[in-house]
Chain A
Amino acid sequence: QKEVEQNSGPLSVPEGAIASLNCTYSDRGSQSFFWYRQYSGKSPELIMFIYSNGDKEDGRFTAQLNKASQYVSLLIRDSQPSDSATYLCAVKRGSTLGRLYFGRGTQLTVWP
Chain B
Amino acid sequence: DTGVSQNPRHKITKRGQNVTFRCDPISEHNRLYWYRQTLGQGPEFLTYFQNEAQLEKSRLLSDRFSAERPKGSFSTLEIQRTEQGDSAMYLCAAIVVGGETQYFGPGTRLLVL
- Listed in ascending order, the chain A residues whose CB lies under 8 Å from chain B are 4, 8, 32, 34, 36, 42-46, 49, 88, 90, 92, 96-105
Contact = CB atoms under 8 A, between A and B. Distances in A.
Contact of A88 (B31, B42, B48, B100): B42
Interface of B: 31, 33, 35, 40-45, 48, 50, 55-56, 89, 91, 93, 95, 100-107
A46 B103 contact: yes
Contact of A102 (B43, B56, B89): B43
B91 A99 contact: no
Contacts of B50: 97
A34 B105 contact: no
Nearest to A6: B42
Contacts of A44: 43, 91, 104
Contacts of B31: 98
Given A4-B42, A98-B33, A32 B100 contact: yes
A45 B104 contact: yes
Given A43-B91, A44-B91, A100 B45 contact: yes
Contacts of A97: 48, 50, 55-56
Nearest to B50: A97
Contact of A104 (B42, B100, B101): B42
B11 to A, nearest CB: 15
B45 to A, nearest CB: 4
B93 to A, nearest CB: 8
